[in-house]
Structure 1
Amino acid sequence: MPTVTETYIENRDIVQPNDTNNHDTAHGGVVMRLMDEAGAMSAMRHAGETCVTAHVEGIDFAKPVPRGSIAVVESWVYDVGTTSVRVRLKVDKEEPRTGERERTAGSRFTFVAVDEDGRPVEVPRLGVETERDEELRERGLPDSEKTA
Protein backbone atom coordinates (compact mmCIF):
# COMPACT_ATOMS: atom_id res chain seq x y z
CA MET A 1 0.00 0.00 0.00
CA PRO A 2 1.66 3.26 -1.13
CA THR A 3 1.89 6.07 1.42
CA VAL A 4 1.02 9.73 0.99
CA THR A 5 4.71 10.70 1.24
CA GLU A 6 5.67 8.22 -1.48
CA THR A 7 3.38 10.09 -3.91
CA TYR A 8 4.88 13.53 -3.19
CA ILE A 9 6.48 15.16 -6.24
CA GLU A 10 8.04 18.58 -6.66
CA ASN A 11 8.72 19.67 -10.26
CA ARG A 12 10.47 22.81 -11.43
CA ASP A 13 10.17 24.53 -14.80
CA ILE A 14 11.63 27.86 -15.84
CA VAL A 15 9.09 30.13 -17.52
CA GLN A 16 10.45 30.78 -21.02
CA PRO A 17 9.32 33.50 -23.45
CA ASN A 18 7.17 31.03 -25.44
CA ASP A 19 5.30 30.18 -22.19
CA THR A 20 4.15 33.76 -21.65
CA ASN A 21 1.23 36.03 -22.49
CA ASN A 22 1.11 39.76 -23.36
CA HIS A 23 1.93 40.59 -19.72
CA ASP A 24 5.18 38.58 -19.89
CA THR A 25 3.85 36.09 -17.35
CA ALA A 26 3.06 32.38 -17.72
CA HIS A 27 -0.15 31.62 -19.61
CA GLY A 28 -2.77 30.11 -17.31
CA GLY A 29 -2.89 27.12 -19.66
CA VAL A 30 0.85 26.54 -19.24
CA VAL A 31 0.45 26.52 -15.45
CA MET A 32 -2.50 24.13 -15.79
CA ARG A 33 -0.41 21.79 -17.97
CA LEU A 34 2.39 21.76 -15.40
CA MET A 35 -0.14 20.96 -12.68
CA ASP A 36 -1.76 18.20 -14.74
CA GLU A 37 1.60 16.58 -15.51
CA ALA A 38 2.80 16.62 -11.89
CA GLY A 39 -0.60 15.44 -10.65
CA ALA A 40 -0.61 12.53 -13.09
CA MET A 41 2.86 11.52 -11.90
CA SER A 42 1.70 11.44 -8.26
CA ALA A 43 -1.46 9.51 -9.23
CA MET A 44 0.51 6.96 -11.27
CA ARG A 45 3.06 6.55 -8.50
CA HIS A 46 0.19 5.64 -6.19
CA ALA A 47 -1.87 3.51 -8.57
CA GLY A 48 0.96 1.72 -10.35
CA GLU A 49 -1.13 2.25 -13.49
CA THR A 50 -1.64 4.88 -16.16
CA CYS A 51 -3.89 7.62 -14.80
CA VAL A 52 -6.02 10.08 -16.75
CA THR A 53 -7.51 13.38 -15.63
CA ALA A 54 -11.17 13.04 -14.67
CA HIS A 55 -11.91 16.27 -12.78
CA VAL A 56 -10.26 19.58 -12.01
CA GLU A 57 -11.55 21.53 -9.04
CA GLY A 58 -11.49 25.26 -9.69
CA ILE A 59 -7.95 26.55 -10.02
CA ASP A 60 -7.18 29.62 -7.97
CA PHE A 61 -4.61 31.83 -9.70
CA ALA A 62 -3.48 34.13 -6.89
CA LYS A 63 -0.43 35.69 -8.55
CA PRO A 64 1.30 35.54 -11.94
CA VAL A 65 4.54 33.68 -12.65
CA PRO A 66 6.83 36.11 -14.52
CA ARG A 67 9.09 35.11 -17.42
CA GLY A 68 12.43 33.93 -16.07
CA SER A 69 10.93 32.73 -12.79
CA ILE A 70 10.77 29.09 -11.87
CA ALA A 71 7.34 27.50 -11.52
CA VAL A 72 7.52 24.98 -8.67
CA VAL A 73 4.65 22.49 -8.69
CA GLU A 74 4.04 20.34 -5.61
CA SER A 75 1.67 17.40 -5.89
CA TRP A 76 0.67 14.49 -3.69
CA VAL A 77 -2.17 12.00 -3.30
CA TYR A 78 -4.37 12.76 -0.30
CA ASP A 79 -7.34 10.45 -0.91
CA VAL A 80 -8.44 7.55 -3.13
CA GLY A 81 -11.66 5.91 -4.25
CA THR A 82 -12.15 2.55 -5.95
CA THR A 83 -10.56 3.62 -9.26
CA SER A 84 -9.91 7.31 -8.57
CA VAL A 85 -6.98 9.15 -7.06
CA ARG A 86 -7.36 12.65 -5.58
CA VAL A 87 -4.27 14.86 -5.84
CA ARG A 88 -3.52 18.20 -4.18
CA LEU A 89 -1.52 20.66 -6.28
CA LYS A 90 0.22 23.86 -5.28
CA VAL A 91 2.26 26.18 -7.50
CA ASP A 92 4.88 28.66 -6.32
CA LYS A 93 6.97 31.10 -8.26
CA GLU A 94 10.60 30.83 -7.30
CA GLU A 95 13.28 33.46 -7.83
CA PRO A 96 16.12 31.53 -9.52
CA ARG A 97 18.94 33.53 -7.90
CA THR A 98 17.68 33.46 -4.31
CA GLY A 99 15.24 30.56 -4.06
CA GLU A 100 12.63 32.89 -2.56
CA ARG A 101 9.16 31.41 -3.13
CA GLU A 102 5.62 32.77 -3.24
CA ARG A 103 2.35 30.85 -3.74
CA THR A 104 0.73 31.53 -7.12
CA ALA A 105 -1.92 28.83 -7.69
CA GLY A 106 -3.57 25.78 -6.22
CA SER A 107 -6.16 23.12 -6.97
CA ARG A 108 -7.24 19.54 -6.48
CA PHE A 109 -7.39 17.14 -9.45
CA THR A 110 -9.01 13.73 -9.65
CA PHE A 111 -7.41 11.06 -11.84
CA VAL A 112 -8.73 7.64 -12.80
CA ALA A 113 -6.45 4.62 -13.16
CA VAL A 114 -6.94 2.82 -16.48
CA ASP A 115 -5.68 -0.35 -18.17
CA GLU A 116 -4.23 -0.65 -21.68
CA ASP A 117 -7.75 -0.51 -23.14
CA GLY A 118 -8.65 2.64 -21.20
CA ARG A 119 -10.97 0.85 -18.78
CA PRO A 120 -10.91 1.93 -15.12
CA VAL A 121 -8.99 -0.34 -12.76
CA GLU A 122 -8.93 -0.50 -8.96
CA VAL A 123 -6.28 1.41 -7.04
CA PRO A 124 -4.69 0.43 -3.72
CA ARG A 125 -5.72 2.01 -0.45
CA LEU A 126 -3.69 5.02 0.65
CA GLY A 127 -1.28 4.48 3.53
CA VAL A 128 -0.95 7.10 6.25
CA GLU A 129 1.88 5.79 8.43
CA THR A 130 4.04 8.73 9.46
CA GLU A 131 3.58 12.27 10.75
CA ARG A 132 4.62 13.53 7.29
CA ASP A 133 1.90 11.36 5.69
CA GLU A 134 -0.71 12.78 8.07
CA GLU A 135 0.46 16.38 7.55
CA LEU A 136 0.34 16.09 3.75
CA ARG A 137 -3.03 14.35 3.86
CA GLU A 138 -4.47 17.13 6.05
CA ARG A 139 -2.98 19.82 3.76
CA GLY A 140 -4.67 18.12 0.81
CA LEU A 141 -8.16 17.80 2.23
CA PRO A 142 -10.72 20.50 1.50
CA ASP A 143 -11.61 22.43 4.65
CA SER A 144 -15.00 20.69 4.78
CA GLU A 145 -13.28 17.29 5.18
CA LYS A 146 -10.61 18.23 7.75
CA THR A 147 -10.76 16.91 11.28
CA ALA A 148 -11.51 19.44 13.99
Structure 2
Amino acid sequence: MPTLLETYIENRFRVQPNHANNNETLHGGTLMKWLDEVGAMSAMRFAGETCVTARVNELDFKRPIGIGDTAVVESYVYDAGRTSVHVALRAWREEPRTGEREETTASSFTFVAVDSEGKPTPVPELEVGGAEGERLRDRALSRDR
Protein backbone atom coordinates (compact mmCIF):
# COMPACT_ATOMS: atom_id res chain seq x y z
CA MET A 1 0.00 0.00 0.00
CA PRO A 2 1.36 3.45 -0.88
CA THR A 3 1.85 5.87 1.98
CA LEU A 4 0.66 9.45 2.08
CA LEU A 5 4.27 10.71 2.06
CA GLU A 6 5.03 8.69 -1.09
CA THR A 7 2.36 10.76 -2.88
CA TYR A 8 3.81 14.11 -1.75
CA ILE A 9 4.90 16.32 -4.66
CA GLU A 10 6.13 19.91 -4.62
CA ASN A 11 6.55 21.65 -7.97
CA ARG A 12 7.55 25.17 -8.99
CA PHE A 13 6.39 27.36 -11.86
CA ARG A 14 7.91 30.73 -12.78
CA VAL A 15 5.10 33.26 -13.39
CA GLN A 16 5.66 34.89 -16.78
CA PRO A 17 3.71 37.74 -18.43
CA ASN A 18 1.76 35.24 -20.57
CA HIS A 19 0.42 33.68 -17.33
CA ALA A 20 -0.93 37.01 -16.05
CA ASN A 21 -4.29 38.74 -15.99
CA ASN A 22 -5.00 42.48 -16.39
CA ASN A 23 -3.73 43.10 -12.84
CA GLU A 24 -0.31 41.66 -13.74
CA THR A 25 -0.83 38.72 -11.39
CA LEU A 26 -1.14 35.02 -12.11
CA HIS A 27 -4.45 34.22 -13.78
CA GLY A 28 -6.58 32.04 -11.48
CA GLY A 29 -7.31 29.63 -14.32
CA THR A 30 -3.60 29.08 -14.91
CA LEU A 31 -3.02 28.30 -11.24
CA MET A 32 -6.02 25.96 -11.30
CA LYS A 33 -4.47 24.12 -14.27
CA TRP A 34 -1.18 23.75 -12.38
CA LEU A 35 -3.02 22.48 -9.28
CA ASP A 36 -4.88 19.95 -11.46
CA GLU A 37 -1.69 18.71 -13.12
CA VAL A 38 0.31 18.30 -9.91
CA GLY A 39 -2.71 16.82 -8.11
CA ALA A 40 -3.12 14.24 -10.87
CA MET A 41 0.56 13.27 -10.47
CA SER A 42 0.00 12.56 -6.75
CA ALA A 43 -3.19 10.62 -7.49
CA MET A 44 -1.49 8.49 -10.16
CA ARG A 45 1.52 7.84 -7.93
CA PHE A 46 -0.91 6.54 -5.31
CA ALA A 47 -3.27 4.58 -7.56
CA GLY A 48 -0.72 3.16 -9.98
CA GLU A 49 -3.30 3.97 -12.66
CA THR A 50 -4.27 6.89 -14.85
CA CYS A 51 -6.40 9.30 -12.81
CA VAL A 52 -8.85 11.86 -14.13
CA THR A 53 -10.29 14.90 -12.40
CA ALA A 54 -13.78 14.23 -11.04
CA ARG A 55 -14.32 17.26 -8.82
CA VAL A 56 -12.79 20.43 -7.50
CA ASN A 57 -13.96 20.24 -3.89
CA GLU A 58 -12.79 23.70 -2.92
CA LEU A 59 -10.52 26.40 -4.28
CA ASP A 60 -9.75 29.34 -2.02
CA PHE A 61 -7.64 32.18 -3.39
CA LYS A 62 -6.15 34.12 -0.47
CA ARG A 63 -3.73 36.48 -2.25
CA PRO A 64 -2.25 36.95 -5.73
CA ILE A 65 1.05 35.76 -7.19
CA GLY A 66 2.83 38.39 -9.25
CA ILE A 67 4.75 38.27 -12.50
CA GLY A 68 8.33 37.25 -11.72
CA ASP A 69 7.36 35.33 -8.59
CA THR A 70 7.57 31.56 -8.34
CA ALA A 71 4.35 29.63 -7.75
CA VAL A 72 5.05 26.65 -5.50
CA VAL A 73 2.41 23.90 -5.61
CA GLU A 74 2.19 21.18 -2.94
CA SER A 75 0.10 18.06 -3.47
CA TYR A 76 -0.55 14.80 -1.65
CA VAL A 77 -3.22 12.11 -1.32
CA TYR A 78 -4.99 12.32 2.04
CA ASP A 79 -7.89 9.90 1.56
CA ALA A 80 -9.23 7.30 -0.88
CA GLY A 81 -12.48 5.57 -1.67
CA ARG A 82 -13.07 2.51 -3.84
CA THR A 83 -12.04 4.22 -7.10
CA SER A 84 -11.62 7.82 -5.93
CA VAL A 85 -8.52 9.60 -4.71
CA HIS A 86 -8.72 12.76 -2.59
CA VAL A 87 -5.80 15.16 -3.01
CA ALA A 88 -4.92 18.15 -0.84
CA LEU A 89 -3.31 21.08 -2.64
CA ARG A 90 -1.74 24.36 -1.55
CA ALA A 91 0.13 27.06 -3.39
CA TRP A 92 2.55 29.75 -2.28
CA ARG A 93 4.06 32.86 -3.76
CA GLU A 94 7.82 32.47 -3.48
CA GLU A 95 10.33 35.27 -3.99
CA PRO A 96 12.91 33.61 -6.28
CA ARG A 97 15.95 35.46 -4.90
CA THR A 98 15.29 34.86 -1.19
CA GLY A 99 12.93 31.87 -1.04
CA GLU A 100 10.54 33.87 1.14
CA ARG A 101 7.06 32.33 0.91
CA GLU A 102 3.49 33.28 1.62
CA GLU A 103 0.52 30.97 1.17
CA THR A 104 -1.81 32.06 -1.62
CA THR A 105 -4.20 29.19 -2.30
CA ALA A 106 -5.76 26.17 -0.60
CA SER A 107 -7.66 23.50 -2.48
CA SER A 108 -8.66 19.86 -2.70
CA PHE A 109 -9.56 17.83 -5.76
CA THR A 110 -11.08 14.38 -6.24
CA PHE A 111 -9.68 12.15 -8.98
CA VAL A 112 -10.95 8.80 -10.22
CA ALA A 113 -8.62 5.99 -11.28
CA VAL A 114 -9.45 4.58 -14.71
CA ASP A 115 -8.30 1.51 -16.61
CA SER A 116 -7.16 1.34 -20.24
CA GLU A 117 -10.80 1.51 -21.38
CA GLY A 118 -11.53 4.61 -19.31
CA LYS A 119 -13.64 2.69 -16.77
CA PRO A 120 -13.27 3.38 -13.02
CA THR A 121 -10.88 0.93 -11.39
CA PRO A 122 -10.19 0.19 -7.71
CA VAL A 123 -7.40 1.97 -5.84
CA PRO A 124 -5.38 0.65 -2.89
CA GLU A 125 -5.97 1.62 0.72
CA LEU A 126 -4.04 4.65 1.89
CA GLU A 127 -1.47 4.10 4.60
CA VAL A 128 -0.72 7.35 6.43
CA GLY A 129 2.81 6.35 7.45
CA GLY A 130 4.09 8.13 10.54
CA ALA A 131 3.77 11.42 12.39
CA GLU A 132 4.36 13.68 9.38
CA GLY A 133 1.78 11.78 7.34
CA GLU A 134 -0.71 12.07 10.22
CA ARG A 135 -0.06 15.82 10.45
CA LEU A 136 -0.65 16.34 6.72
CA ARG A 137 -3.77 14.14 6.70
CA ASP A 138 -5.22 15.94 9.72
CA ARG A 139 -4.55 19.31 8.06
CA ALA A 140 -6.34 18.18 4.87
CA LEU A 141 -9.31 16.68 6.71
CA SER A 142 -9.78 19.79 8.84
CA ARG A 143 -10.15 21.84 5.63
CA ASP A 144 -12.89 19.49 4.38
CA ARG A 145 -15.16 20.31 7.30
Query: Can you list the C-alpha shifts for 1:26-60, whole angstroms capped at 9, x where unaligned?
Result: 00000000100010000000000000000001211
TM-score w.r.t. structure 1 length? 0.95
Quote the Cα distance in structure 2 between the aligned partners of 1:95 and 1:140. 25
8 Å CA contact retained: 2:64, 2:104: yes
Give the superposition deviation at 1:70: 0.3
Identify if the C-alpha distance between structure 1 residues 144 and 108 changes in structure 2 by more than 3 Å, giving closer, same or farther: closer
Aligned partner letter, 1:21: N
Please state if 1:103 is matched with 2:99. Answer: no
Provide the identity percentage: 59
The equivalent residue for 1:46 is 46
How far residue 138 of structure 1 moved from its aligned partner, in angstroms, is 0.8
Deviations 1:47-103 (A, max 9, x none): 000000000012111100000000000000000000000000000000000000001
* Cα distance in 1 for residues equivalent to 2:123 and 2:107: 22
**How many residue pairs end up in the alignment?**
145
1:104-123 alignment runs, 5 A limit:
104-123=104-123
* Alignment partner, residue 5 of structure 1: 5
Task: Name structure 2 gaps, 5 residues minimum.
Answer: none
CA distance in 2, matches of 1:137, 1:82: 18
- 2:71 — aligned with what? 71
Contact kept, 8 Å, 2:5 with 2:129, in 1: the verdict is no
1:139 Cα deviation after fit: 1.3
Moved over 6 A (4+): none
Greater shift in the superposed pair: 1-10 or 134-143: 134-143
The residue number in structure 2 matching 1:130 is 130
Partner residue, 1:61: 61
State whether residues 89 and 106 of structure 2, in contact with CA within 8 Å, keep that contact through their aligned partners in structure 1: yes
Question: Tell me, what secondary structure is at the counterpart of 1:142?
Answer: helix
Q: 1:143 to 1:26 in 2, by over 3 A?
A: closer
- Tell me which residue corresponds to 2:84: 84
2:144 and 2:33 map into 1 onto residues whose CA distance is: 27
Q: TM-score, normalised by structure 2?
A: 0.97
- Unaligned 5+ residue runs, structure 1? none
Structure 1 position 144, deviation (Å): 6.1
| Alpha-carbon RMSD | 1.0
Check conservation: 2:58, 2:109, Cα contact below 8 A: no
